[in-house]
Amino acid sequence: MGDVIFETKTGELIHIVLTGPTPYSQKLELEKDKDDNVLIPYSAVIAVGDFMVIAEEDVV
C-alpha cells in the first residue's frame, strides 16, 4: 500500500493506492492513477492489519 485517496470535505476514503502490485493484481486490469499505480476501491476492503483483505468480486 502506498497511499490513501480521500474526499477532503467529508473524510470519506475513496481508493487505496498500490505501489508494488503483484503480477496477479496487474492482470486484473484495475483502475490506475496518473503515475500508473493500481487503485483499489476502499469499499472492497474487508480487513486491515499486517496485510489487507480485499473482496475480489468488488474489484473486478
Q: Is the pTM of this model over 0.95?
A: no
pLDDT in the model for residue 2: 85
Give pLDDT tens digits for 1-58.
Answer: 788 999 999 999 999 998 888 888 888 888 998 988 889 999 999 998 888 888 888 8
Phi-psi region of 8 (alpha: psi -120 to 50; beta: other; left: phi over 0): alpha
Q: Domain limits of the chain?
A: 3-59
Q: Residue 8 is placed in which grid cell?
A: 477532503
